[in-house]
Amino acid sequence: MRILMVALAATMLAGCAGSAMNDARTQAPYKVLTSDKAEKVVAQCVQFGWQDEAVFGVDAAAYLEPRKLGGTTVYTRSAESFVDVITEASGTTLNYYAQKDDFVAKRRPEAKAVLKAFQRGAELIRRNPDEAAKLVAAELNQPEPIIRRSLNKFTYGPAFSNDIVDALIGAEVFLKEQKLTRVSVDVNRFVDRSLTAELGYK
């Protein structure tokens, strides 16, 4: 089930990025740059630069996709920054857009609906653990007893408890100690409890 949730989240994020970029393109680019290098070379160069954790932090990532009207688009996660790389007669033009698309703020009712569905699933697990284990076992093609034991080990729900936040902070410390990341992350900066608080979830 978690695999399905991750796949769904990835699909939603891809759609959100496309929507954010289309909205940004209704305005003038933040900057327009030019290059005498080929479009493909420029796009790959931008992508490589935006994947540098030392510059963009732990969320450093960059993706390439063909532009519908021709050219290539390079964008960061959630499309907070993206550049349209276009071949023109005079050379390669780069239309750079920098934005802050607050997905949740723009779609608060939808976000609450997702959290409510998550809460209903958590309540099903608590009230009917055997039925929940049967559903998950069928979905993952695993024995019910194993799923049942797994369900007993976790507390399910949409709210970020202090224990969850502490675990995330501990994970960040461990990753740095093991030299798996070079960038410090302020976990509390990424945790937004406002929606679950409005819904009364703790």
Q: Which one-letter DSSP state was computed for residue 35?
A: E
Contact 71, 39 (CB under 8 A): yes
Q: What is the pLDDT of residue 14?
A: 46
Per-residue pLDDT of 54-68, as tens digits, reads 556 556 678 899 998
Q: Helix, strand, or coil here: 44?
A: helix
pLDDT 10s digits, 107-146: 778 888 999 998 998 898 889 999 999 999 999 999 999 9
